[in-house]
Structure 1
Amino acid sequence: MRLASYNVENLFDRAKVMMLDTWAEGSEVLQAFAEANEILGKPQYSQADKDKLAELLIELGLEKSDEAGFVILRRNRGELLKRPRTGGLEITAEGRADWVGSLELKEAPVDHESMLNTARVMEALKADVLGVVEAESRPSLLAFNEQILPSVGGTPFDHVMVIDGNDSRGIDVGILTRAAYPLVSMVSHVDDVVGGERIFSRDCPDYTLATPSGARLHVLVNHFKSKGYGDPRRSDARRKEQATRVHAIVEGLIAAGETHVAVIGDLNDTPDSDPLAPLIEGGLLTDAFHHPAFEDGGYPGTYGSCTANNKIDYLLLSKALFDKVTAGGVIRLGMWPGTRPKKWDVLASLTAKVNAASDHAAIWVDLDLG
């Protein structure tokens, strides 16, 4: 069977701020958005909370209106704030129970050719089991599978699943499988906590699949905390907590006799990083990139320019699975290759950077499960 992972960077719609040319352009907006939502969710707002929230909402462009370039403040009932004629914002709510609504990122359609190129990469993968990172929702992934994939000559998958996670931006993780590998159970870890805070930025769903040989395969799809915005120390600490928890989940599965376990997805850090050490160096899992049968296409990375510093996508396999690897590789057909010179071959339809399917490569491994 072929197991694969692909960060599709959304299928139909994506937060407008995440469609800017570089992370640096949108990082301040995303940071202010995250901080504002953290305050908005508190049961009680202190005066310091109110002052900071007003500052953040103004930074987001909401001083004069509930809609700005990248965000929308939805106020359905109750009272959150006032806008004095003299300018500024006054937070009038005393806590979350005083108003009903939300602070949301505005979305925009993904470039049409980019969407089709995503489908072309998925078809080129020829995967039996595909972990997908940054899917908007199950309905979106299902529609993409049933409508867009066939439009480029692909064969739709038989099973599609996404568990809604902790990220409000519509970047969840999910799985698609062929009929021979049905989903027999799934366990969500959205509510796993440490220090009173949820661990996973999205989720760490444990999808259990049946195989034709009768073996069970656990696939844990992940998308760790980004380096793109926020305090780097806090981001590193969050990824380390996530890596530590995933390692504990895998340890529990193997202790229970589940030998076929894979942790796949975008872990947003390099193999030699301290945050990933609990998972990479834990001894339970091995990166498929280290298998002699794995071909990286001449580049060690999976994101952007694909240098070693951009190796952030993974197929981590338990010993029993690693021993069954027969082949593996990286598909960069949908990634912008640069121009001077072009780094790798791409789809004929990828003629401009905006048409790139994703900034991430798709990665795959063949497993002889009998």
Structure 2
Amino acid sequence: MQLTITTFNVENLFNRYAFLDSPWEDRSYEKFIQAIGVVSIASRAGDLVPYPISEIQRNNTAQAILDSKPDILAVQEIENIYTLRIFNETYLDNYFDRMICIDGNDPRGIDVGLLLRKDFNANIQNIRTHIDEPEKGKSIHRTSFLNSGYWVTGAIFSRDCLEVDINLNGKIITLLINHFKAQDKTQASVVRRTKQSERVAELVTQCAKSGKLPIVLGDLNATPVDKSLVSLLKHPLLKDPFPPETWTHYYVPKKNMSRLDYILTHKNIKSISTHIVRNGLTTKCKKYDGPRYPTVGQEHTEASDHCPTSVVIDV
């Protein structure tokens, strides 16, 4: 059975439309997230910028997903299950019919999720979250934050490691969907990512021992040479089907292309091909001279700063 698995950091679907000067209570969520805003949240910096996510951006994000033709799609930086459903119906013409998202440990609305293509012959068997796993020697504490979530300290995972078992014709693949700690030029972020990588590596080993085929995927927020990812990239049960020159992300301030997004498959899974959709990248990325969507320009039109990254496997 051949199938396409894709991972994509969508750089927020709707969240930057949120008005910050009024509470959520007694408001229609659908209208709230689709309102035309005058400010938006730059999620990585946490500051305000004088523009919302545009309709062009949402359409280009959707087109990048559709062009990837995923049977299974892992996403990062989504607000919640409601935004996934609305985005799927409004912009993807209900391409997916099964969606999973559990509120994670980041109150900024950047959770991870999973979607399965409509009529895809697979069964979701188990869903596990790891939001309540503490770092060694620490306790988890949650504090209500801005009436929208909880600020969490002491947890291993910045967001979550969403673990999903899927039955494919009698074989179980276990997807471990992640969005690791971001790089912030401090040793603390390296240490945090290292702990996250080590824990996911343990989960890989546990899955394999129980007869499942683990696949680690998502935005790991580090390049392959970063020491924080050693536990995964050197794991004896995993392989990286992508070529060494792969890049998946463009960082505008430094005009830098790098690889932050990964799909690491169990060594016994046959990889047929890989592909990356870059048509939605900002035109500021001069080193990419391939085709782009007609509406993509320099600012506020790109699909994301990440590229949908896919592997075709045979299970």
Distance 1:111 1:176, change over 3 A: same
Q: How does 1:64-83 map to 2 (within 5 A)?
A: 70=48
Higher helix fraction: Structure 1 or Structure 2? 1
Shift in CA distance, 325/333, structure 1 to aligned 2, threshold 3 Å: same
Deviations 1:119-157 (A, max 9, x none): 01111011000000111101101111112112xxxx521
Q: Which residue of 2 aligns with 1:275?
A: 228
Kindly indicate whether residue 199 of structure 2 is the aligned counterpart of residue 245 of structure 1: yes
Please give the residue correspondences for 1:190-339 in structure 2 after superposition, counting only pairs within 5 Å.
190-194=131-135, 195-196=137-138, 197-211=154-168, 213-227=169-183, 229=184, 232-258=186-212, 260-290=213-243, 300-304=246-250, 310-321=258-269, 324-338=270-284
After TM superposition, give the deviation of residue 348 of structure 1 in Å: 1.4
Aligned length: 271
Residue of 61, 83, 86 corresponding to 1:118: 61
Superposition deviation, residue 351 in structure 1: 2.9
Structure number with higher relative contact order (C-alpha < 8 Å, ≥ 6 residues apart): 2
Map of 2:7 onto structure 1: 5
The superposition leaves residues 184-231 of structure 1 with CA deviations (integer Å, 9 ceiling, x where unpaired) of: 2100000111131200000001111122x221111111000001x4x6
In the TM superposition, residue 107 of structure 1 has moved relative to its aligned partner by 11
Measure the CA separation in 2 of the matches of 1:350 and 1:320: 39
Change in 2 beyond 3 A, CA 1:156/1:340: closer
For residue 18 of structure 1, report the CA deviation from its aligned partner.
1.5
Q: 1:255 to 1:351 in 2, by over 3 A?
A: same
What are the Cα deviations for residues 228-264 of structure 1, in whole angstroms up to 9, with x where unaligned?
Answer: x4x6100000000000000001111111121x21110
Q: TM-score, normalised by structure 2?
A: 0.80
- Residues 129 and 181 of structure 1 are in contact (CA less than 8 Å); yes or no, is this contact kept in structure 2? no
Counterparts of residues 2-151 of structure 1 (less than 5 Å): 2-14=4-16, 16-18=40-42, 26=45, 30=46, 70=48, 109-150=52-93
Consecutive unaligned residues of structure 2, counting only runs of 5 or more, are 19-39, 139-153
Alpha-carbon deviations, 1:58-91, whole Å to 9, x = none? xxxxxxxxxxx74xxxxxxxxxxxxxxxxxxxxx
TM normalised by structure 1 equals 0.68
Structure 2 residue aligned with 1:57: none
Specify which of 107, 113, 116 is matched with residue 174 of structure 1: 113
- CA distance in 2 between counterparts of 1:204 and 1:247 reads 11
- Say if 1:328 and 1:365, in contact at 8 Å, map to a contact too: yes
| Distance in 1, Cα, partners of 2:285 & 2:223 | 26
**Bigger CA radius of gyration:** 1
Pick from 346, 355, 369 the counterpart of residue 301 of structure 2. 355
Contact 1:267–1:312, Cα closer than 8 Å, also in 2 = yes
Runs of 4+ in 1 over 3 A off after TM superposition: 106-109, 305-309, 339-342
Q: Which runs of 5+ in 1 are unaligned?
A: 31-68, 71-105, 291-295
Contact 1:337-1:344 within 8 A present in 2 as well: no
**1:313 alignment partner AA:** D
Equivalent residues of 1:13, 1:109 under 8 A apart: no
Aligned residue in 1 for 2:141: none
Residue 270 to residue 336, structure 1, CA distance change in 2 (3 Å) = same
Amino acid at match of 1:262: I
CA RMSD of aligned residues (A): 2.4
Do the aligned partners of 2:283 and 2:298 also contact (CA within 8 Å) in 1? no
Counterpart CA distance in 1 for 2:12 and 2:193 is: 22
Q: Whole-Å Cα distance in 2 between the matches of residues 122 and 134 of structure 1?
A: 15
How far off is 1:285 after superposition?
1.2
Alpha-carbon contact 1:6-1:362 (below 8 Å) kept: yes
Residue of structure 2 equivalent to 1:45 = none
8 Å CA contact 2:68–2:310 kept in 1: the answer is: yes
Are the structure 2 counterparts of residues 305 and 158 from structure 1 closer, same or farther at C-alpha, using a change threshold of 3 Å?
A: same
